[in-house]
Structure 1
Amino acid sequence: MVERDPKTPSYSMSTPDERLFGSDHEPPPQQFGRFLIKRIIGRGGMGIVYQAEQTEPFHRDVALKFIRRGSYGEGVIKRFKLERQALAVMNHENIARVFDADATEDGQPYFVMEYVAGDRIDHFCDQNKLNLEQRLLLFRDVCDAVQHAHMKGVIHRDLKPSNILVTQDGNRMVPKVIDFGVVKPLDPSMSGDSLHTEQGKLMGTPQYMSPEQLSMGQEDVDTRADVYALGVLLFELLTGTLPYEDKWDNVYQYIVNVRKADPPLASVRVRAMDREKIQAVAATRGVEPEALMRRLSGDLDWMLLRALAKDRNERYATASGMATDIDRYLRDEPVWASKPTWTYLMRKFVRRHKLGVAVALAFLAVLVGGIATTSYAMVRAQKASEEADRQRLAAVAARDQAEEAERRSQAVNQFLTNMISSADPEEGHRDVKVVDVLAQAANQVNTSFADEPAVESAVRRAIGQTFLGLGLYDEAQAQIDLALQTSQHHLPTNHKEIQAGLRDLADVHYHRGRYKESEAIYRRLLDTVQSQELVDPVEVIDLKNNLALSIKFQGRLQDAIPLYREALAFRIEHFGPDDDRTIESMNNLAVALKRPEEKVEAESLMRQVFEKVRVVKGENHPWTLSTLNNLAYLQAERGDMYEAIVFHRACLARRIEVLGELHPRTLQSRDALTQCLLATGQLAEAHQQIAQAVDGFKQVLRPDHPNVLRSSLLLVGVLVDVHDVDAAQRAMDELEPRLVEAFGADSRLLFELALHRLGLALHLGGPVEQQLARLHEFQLDLPWYEAVIDSYSAASKVHSTDDLVQWDRANLRLSQYLEGAERHYARMERMLAEAYDKQSNELQVAATRKRFKLRWPDARTELESIQKPLN
């Protein structure tokens, strides 16, 4: 740690010259318990920080932070305790760690934390003359640290250069966020009583405080205040100055300025500097002044404006969102902070593929420069050698490509702006009128772009992707097929646009349940990408992740898991633990881990995913709801059926609200809830839920879609359990040939259907020998395969009390299996209780029902929210 920057006053602090152990003029002690005090490295109104050497139980340098004497007010003690708690719950490479906490003999609190032997981030960058890319990479790690704090429920509220120190670990630069002295908890329980910012008093450093912080308690503060401070920090690292002038007569003039005036563009701020200043700033960044202004103009300007937006709803929603945009900028991909026009996207595409289109890039730069520059380049090209002539011809081709892209931009932007973006459920909800507009637009593409196949392809792909997001798979595939046909007819075989079209097609197959088809396309794309001269490892991992999904849904979990683990390891290393892509991989791996020895790892991963996504995306985001649904499955698989029902009910209600009644994910929630209701004997509601699910699936999916078939099979089982004999028989006869065609005659789903036929036969009291013989033909590799057959077989042989006892024992064996056989165990227990009841054996009826109750005991409490079981 180092002393605070004397140029940046912190208005929550008082006089900075007091001493911890005595008067202002008394030097610090040389020894304090097991610590040898070396020097004071930080002071504030709340406390003093010492560098010390810990002598027991081992030697290391540490930082000791004490509350200063005379400052033991209730608010100060709360803030000190809160800082200690905040540091204790965090575990991140880029956050200073806390080792211990205690109090002196006379009650003076202190805690022991990691000593960071580094320099403040702005000084480190300037002294080492880091270029813009190096500064962005360093800053990106700071974003990761802040995101980690937010995920732990902590807002820093005083992010600034002096609170971020940089150390060297070999060749690595490691930033460390320190001083959580004005931290605010997202969860008030962290500090017991809530700790609020006092009205009329600033908590933090004004130059780095967001407009809502500068309201002095009149507006609430959330994690986006830290995003604003990160924007100020990045502005300073890139330009050498602050967004707003830090010269003011009093702090209140500064507050008025920040809350009313818009922040300047970074490039404009640099351009306004005097000559000496700009030369000094550029020199410490290893670039010429004009180049610095040019680099800041565009993406970096946009990114900073978004982070510094006065309205926090217009800022990056999270620190990780800002980090992701930095990653995209460094990879020459379009950044989210910018308006994604097709001209802009085209420019980014050329930058990312500069080896293959170097001449095109040069000519595109000429075009952007204006007509005069273009004319000059053309004249130069006419006077050049044959090599220059070839370059000119290539440039002309690039010009034509750019002009074509510009024509496409007008058409595609119009579709995106007016029709498509408003229909994406990831941003809102499904609107039937918007769907109608999309369908009408798709019908007009042929006539609108009859002479412009590239524009037609781009528009169709955009429409197709949106139909896919809405769960309208037939419409999506129709548009993507047409787009792919158009691009394949007009572009080279390995063109990126064709690869993108193939990925869209694979995505459609995947969502339609055609997993073999999607697997084949993903493998083809993977071979193509890996055979290229320049292999993009990120693209490779993305394809492997999608390939694993297609493999997993074909039941080949052990083939998918290594791909999931590879993707997760890569994404943690390259994107960090809180990146969306990393969280996606954690989710996928958790869902695939089904073996008993993998259950603990699966649940741990899924709970981490849920907490991360809920904080970053919000309670009702579709991704949060998918994770909630997966958590419910994990609860069911470990036998907590009633808690699984609570999760499924919450997920269903939110999906209806966000996605609508007929979205496939909403219908999947009804399906999943039905399975839990069946397992716990709640037949009436199970019948209602699965009937709605089947009816909905039939409206939005093709008849042979796996979801339609699986839900129809579940409905068959419910009809058997509620003794609707005629409906059950009709449904089984209609469903069986479809299951055989889709999954084969020996599939597990046919085994399930055979069990339902046997269940119906047992209810009717007819012969069951043929059905029993059919069960033994499957020879499935299921842990409960023999147990469930034994239970049904015992049920068919009841002629005496002894036979009931044998059936009871068979059910006890079946009860040992918590996954897969739940509905059949529930059916057998109900039928056994009915059989005992017919013999007026009340004691055995009660025992059977008690055993069934113990199998899935009532939830410990009726949970009103989904958060409680997750704590």
Structure 2
Amino acid sequence: MGTMLSEVGRWEEALAASEEAVHIRRRLAVANPDAYEPDLALSLSNLGTMLSEVGRWEEALAASEEAVHIRRRLAVANPDAYEPDVALSLSNLGTMLSEVGRWEEALAASEEAVHIRRRLAVANPDAYEPALASALSNLGNRMSEVGRGEEALAAAEEAVHIHRRLAVANPDAYEPALTASQSNLARAYLAAGDLGRAIPLYERTLVDSERVLGSDHPDTLISRNNLAGAYESAGDLGRAIPLYERTLVDSERVLGSDHPDTLISRNNLAGAYESAGDLGRAIPLYERTLVDSERVLGSDHPDTLNVLGSLAASYAQAGRIDEAIMLLERVTSDFVRVLGSDHPDTLNALGSLAASYAQAGRIDEAITLLERVTSDFVRVLGSDHPHTLSARHNLALWRGRRGMPPVPRPRSPTCWPTLCGCWAPTTLTL
């Protein structure tokens, strides 16, 4: 019941149903653990997903961790029956840990899931290779988050290779999974800055999604959104904006105006208008999206906070710097409270606040904040992560304008984006 309600965007009702299922199964498991603990673990896993949908990440993580704990214990007694469930729970736990910025722990959980599923697939490939491919796809995402780009590509490419082979033998069963793996591989190419491979693969994924699932399927809408994002990353706004506009119209028609995916589509279209310098359309669209996100998702949902930050950046671009700083100070405080001071979104928000301070002529405050952000990125993500490289470059830029010596650069800088006051997570991937 909870899953079905979630699919149509009725998140609060879905959560209530999942909480009731956990309550019932926990009571049954107390009386008869052998009979009901497996079902309790399943309900906890579903509850974790529902809690994440409404932005209650810490509670989602707690539910997912309990599901892993129960399934590990069951697998000790009966590995053949429960090891596949352990791998599934670990993969879900990796996603939850990623959402709260605990990226190294997320990676460890995903690596263990792949290890289990690879061993199972060796013994029984027909039964477990599909799950191995899904775990590899998730592992690629986790590798990208910690800046291990080559390993991320290797995992994502292996996932596509397995799904492609399975789809040849049984297209009806595996072509949908193949399109998802292709999308994740394209995302890995994009994260590595390889637009020459990312864009054609996103284009192919969209064509395949329309053929396999239909033009109105929610996953097809996601593929269209992601292709538009790749075009925007390449600076091709002439193709990005019409595609974002079509995605938004179709999302409102198919999913409804209040569906979270529709809100993401609206935010991304506003971001493309902003990139094109069309603030007359960007700002009202951001403002509408913020009002709707607060109403539908709540003020503390990470997607809502991202919209708030995007609106602040558009105010800064429009010269409304005092309003921008006010919103950015609010959103950084909210990110610290909701996700913690070390979450990458929190650090990106602080970097955007520093950019606004600099735009307002408050250079010393900007430098002090950027020094803190750079130090935190080094500690949390490492010296060679793209976020760290960007923060280090921005700090060097403003220290140079003050006549101060630059901080030592990392060993192998790959790119140096310019400090522009842009909100880092403007484009949200569905």
TM-score (norm 1): 0.37
Q: In the TM superposition, what whole-angstrom CA distance separates every residue of 1:639-686 from its partner, at most 9, and x where no partner exists?
A: 223422222111111111111110000100111112222222211110
Alignment partner for residue 210 of structure 2, among 558, 569, 572?
572
Alpha-carbon distance in structure 2 between the residues aligned to 1:608 and 1:502: 37
> Residue 504 of structure 1 corresponds to which residue in structure 2?
92
Q: Tell me the amino acid that sits aligned with residue 392 of structure 2.
A: L
Deviation, 1:481, is 3.8
2:259 equivalent among 611, 621, 645: 621
Aligned residue type for 1:426 = G
Q: 2:354 aligned with 1:719, yes or no?
A: no
- What is the distance in 1 between the residues matched to 2:335 and 2:249? 30
Are 2:167 and 1:583 aligned? no
User: What SS does the corresponding residue of 1:703 show, helix, strand or coil?
Assistant: coil
CA distance in 1 between partners of 2:280 and 2:411 (Å):
35
Q: Which residue pairs with 1:318 in the alignment?
A: none
Matches within 5 A, 1:659-698: 659-698=297-336
Which residue number corresponds to residue 752 of structure 1? 394
The 5 Å alignment of 1:346-357 reads none
Residue of 41, 44, 48 corresponding to 1:460:
44
Q: 1:770 aligns with which of 405, 409, 422?
A: 405
1:476 aligned residue (60, 75, 78) = 60
CA contact (8 A) 1:464 1:475 kept: yes
Counterparts of residues 383-782 of structure 1 (less than 5 Å): 416=2, 426-427=9-10, 441=23, 447=30, 450-451=33-34, 452-484=36-68, 486-487=70-71, 489=75, 490=78, 492=80, 497=85, 500-501=88-89, 503-508=91-96, 511-512=99-100, 514=103, 518-520=138-140, 523=156, 536-549=174-187, 552-553=190-191, 557-594=195-232, 598-722=236-360, 728=366, 730-741=368-379, 742=381, 744=383, 747-758=389-400, 761=402, 768-771=403-406, 781=415
Matches within 5 A, 1:28-43: none
* CA pair 549-429 structure 1, distance change in 2 beyond 3 A: farther
- Asked if 2 retains the 8 angstrom alpha-carbon contact of 1:526 and 1:543, the reply is yes
Cα RMSD, aligned residues only? 4.1
Distance of aligned partners of 1:776 and 1:580 in 2 relative to their CA distance in 1, 3 Å threshold: closer
Count of aligned pairs between the two proteins? 362
> Structure 1's 597 and 686: CA in aligned 2 closer, same or farther, altered over 3 A?
closer
2: CA distance, partners of 1:722 / 1:641: 19
Question: Given that residues 347 and 377 in structure 2 are in contact (C-alpha distance below 8 angstroms), is that contact kept between their aligned partners in structure 1?
Answer: yes
Structure 1 residues 637 and 726: CA distance shift in structure 2, 3 A: closer
Structure 2 residue matching 1:519: 3-state secondary structure: helix
| Identity value in percent | 20
Q: Which protein is bigger by CA-based radius of gyration? A: 1
Q: Which runs of 5+ in 1 are unaligned?
A: 1-339, 341-415, 762-767, 786-819, 825-871
Instruction: Give the aligned residue type for 2:289.
Output: C
Tell me, in whole angstroms, the C-alpha distance in 1 between the residues paired with 2:207 and 2:59.
36
Given residue 139 of structure 2, which amino acid in structure 1 is its aligned partner? E
Distance 1:449 1:426 in 2: 35
**SS of alignment partner, residue 471 of structure 1:** coil
| Contact 2:315 2:323 (C-alpha < 8 Å) held by counterparts | yes
Q: What is the letter of the counterpart of residue 393 of structure 2? A: F
3-state SS, counterpart of residue 319 of structure 2: coil
Distance verdict in 2 for CA 1:547–1:464, change over 3 Å: farther
Structure 1 CA distance for aligned equivalents of residues 249 and 6 of structure 2: 27
Q: In structure 2, how many angstroms separate the alpha carbons of the residues matched to 1:701 and 1:442? A: 30
CA distance in 1 between partners of 2:24 and 2:405 (Å): 54
Please tell me whether the aligned partners of residues 430 and 659 of structure 1 are also in contact (alpha carbons under 8 angstroms). Answer: no
Partner of 2:305, secondary structure, is helix
TM-score between the two structures when normalised by the length of structure 2: 0.69
Alignment-mate amino acid for residue 470 of structure 1: V
From the superposition, tell whether residues 573 and 421 of structure 1 become closer, same or farther in structure 2 (CA, over 3 Å).
closer
Paired letter, 1:753: L
Residue identity matched to 1:663: H
* TM-aligned CA deviation for residue 462 of structure 1: 0.9
Cα distance in 1, alignment partners of residues 256 and 4 from structure 2:
20
Q: 1:575 to 1:495 in 2, by over 3 A?
A: farther
The AA in structure 1 aligned to 2:96 is: V
User: Could you tell me which residue of structure 2 aligns to residue 18 of structure 1?
Assistant: none
Are the aligned partners of 1:603 and 1:631 in contact in 2 as well (CA < 8 Å)? yes
Uncovered stretches (5+) of structure 2, i.e. residues with no partner: 111-137, 143-154, 423-430
Secondary structure (helix, strand or coil) at the match of 2:314 reads helix
Cα deviation, 1:565-611, whole Å, max 9, x if unaligned, reads: 23212111122222222111111111122365733222221111011
Write 1 or 2 for the structure with the bigger share of strand. Answer: 1
Q: Which has the higher contact order (CA 8 A, sep 6+)?
A: 2
CA-CA distance at 1:619 after TM superposition: 2.3
| Counterparts of 2:367 and 2:290, CA distance in 1 | 30
Q: Residue 556 of structure 1: CA displacement?
A: 5.1
Alpha carbons of structure 1 residues 556 and 725: separation in structure 2 relative to 1, 3 Å: same
Aligned residue runs from structure 1 range 12-161, under 5 A: none
Q: Deviations over 1:256-279 (max 9, x none)?
A: xxxxxxxxxxxxxxxxxxxxxxxx
CA contact (8 A) 1:422 1:434 kept: no
Q: Give the secondary structure class of the aligned counterpart of 1:540.
A: helix
- CA distance in 2 between counterparts of 1:691 and 1:616 reads 36
Could you tell me whether the CA contact under 8 Å between 1:720 and 1:728 is conserved in 2? yes
1:39-65: CA deviation from partner (whole Å, max 9, x where unpaired): xxxxxxxxxxxxxxxxxxxxxxxxxxx
For the 8 Å contact 1:526–1:544, the answer to whether it is kept is yes
**Partner residue of 1:305?**
none
Q: Which moved more, 1:497-506 or 1:679-688?
A: 497-506
**Distance in structure 2 (CA, Å) of the matches to 1:493 and 1:530:** 28
Change (3 A) 1:560 1:604: same
Aligned-pair CA distance for 1:495 = 7.5
Shift of 1:549: 3.9
State the distance in 2 between where 1:443 and 1:719 align.
53
Q: Find the aligned partners of 1:560 and 1:739 in 2 and give their Cα distance.
A: 26
Inter-CA distance 755–449: structure 2 relative to 1 (3 Å threshold) = farther
Distance change >3 Å, CA 484–CA 778, structure 1 → 2:
closer
CA separation in 1, counterparts of 2:19 and 2:82?
34
SS of aligned partner of 2:232? coil
Residue deviations 1:318-359, cap 9 Å, x none? xxxxxxxxxxxxxxxxxxxxxx6xxxxxxxxxxxxxxxxxxx
Separation of aligned partners in 2, 1:449 and 1:559: 54
Which stretch shifts more, 477-486 or 704-713?
477-486
**What amino acid sits opposite 2:10 in the alignment?**
E
Q: Residue 207 of structure 2: SS of its match in structure 1?
A: helix
- The superposition leaves residues 3-38 of structure 1 with CA deviations (integer Å, 9 ceiling, x where unpaired) of xxxxxxxxxxxxxxxxxxxxxxxxxxxxxxxxxxxx
Q: CA deviation at 1:436?
A: 12
